[in-house]
Structure 1
Amino acid sequence: MTETSKKFIVLSRIAEELNRRNITWAIGASLLLYLKGIASDFSDIDMMIAESDVEDVKEVLLSFGQQKPANPNVQYKTKAFLEFEIDGVDIDVMAGLVIVNEGVEYYFPLEKDQIRDSAKINGTVIPLQSIEQWRTYYQLMGRTGKVDLIDRHIPR
């Protein structure tokens, strides 16, 4: 089994439970770019969730694996940032994303109406955030390589 297949099995198992519980969530970051054919690989699974769903998501993920110790980064003041390891797969969960750029805080809560796309993995619906939204995030994060990668694939 490939590393990607292993990650997709973990993701689809989690997704089934999140969807069953009607939790507002979506995939972002490098996995989003991978699923859209923009990036050739991804290291972990980044999930954006609604702030109101933090406890439910934590409960679901703990039923599959373990939570890792907090590892804060001063560039982000995200309302909730949780890291899990499930069957050797790293999963980062963010609720109420806040990116600090030149002393200004930019707040990006996940709203249900922002989720307009999805992918199917192992027969399970995986909600996706928009590439345009992630281009904005990456630009504010100073991740110019990711911005350039998106710009090469998505006409502006």
Structure 2
Amino acid sequence: MAEISKKLTVLSQIAKELNRRQITWAIGASLLLYLKGMVQEFHDIDIMVAEADAEKAKKVLLSFGKLLPAGPKGQYKTKYFWEFDVDGVDIDMMAGFTIVHDGMDFYFPLEKEQINDYTEINGAVIPLQSLDEWRIYYKLMGRTDKIAIMDR
């Protein structure tokens, strides 16, 4: 539980700065499922960002931690994808999220209108992506385990 608390503290610190700079962003993936009470843990923090704010968001994250070397892209063609280490917490930042499925590119840019849910952590407002959107993403990724969790 201490590990989760540390991750959420890091998230709240970053969130305050992203919000202060009026960056359009939202939480996705397993942290979204955690914040919605669907899973008991999450491994990293996935921050989805509007493409127009990608470079600004990168600077914010660099002010908190270090950029990690790029890993393999696999089934993704995301326009902006960076991994950061902030106090030992792995943070993935994505803008222009694109999933390759059956040889086709499925493009899912984050737009302000898609964010209609929020939570608060340590006094920081945390925008959340839609579970419906993530169900589509997981289906395209072949993540039947995550879909089963969401369907319960």
TM-score, reference length from structure 2: 0.98
Counterpart amino acid of residue 45 in structure 1: I
Is 1:2 matched with 2:5? no
Deviation above 4 Å: which 4+ runs of structure 1?
none
Q: Secondary structure at the match of 2:76?
A: coil
Equivalence map 1:1-156=2 (5 Å): 2-152=2-152
Partners of 2:32 and 2:12 in 1: how far apart? 14
Instruction: Quote the Cα distance in structure 2 between the aligned partners of 1:3 and 1:129.
Output: 23
CA distance, structure 1, for counterparts of residue 95 and residue 151 of structure 2: 26
Q: Deviations over 1:96-128 (max 9, x none)?
A: 010001001100000000000011000110000
Give me the whole-angstrom Cα distance separating, in 2, the residues matched to 1:47 and 1:55: 13
Deviations 1:75-101 (A, max 9, x none): 000001100000000000010010001
Structure 1: which 5+ residue stretches go unaligned?
A: none
Gaps of 5+ in 2: none
Deviations 1:21-61 (A, max 9, x none): 00000000000000000111100000000011111111111
Residue type of the alignment partner of 1:144: T
Q: Structure 1 residue 74: deviation in Å? A: 2.5
Cα RMSD between the aligned structures? 0.8
Kindly tell me the number of residue pairs found equivalent between the two proteins: 152
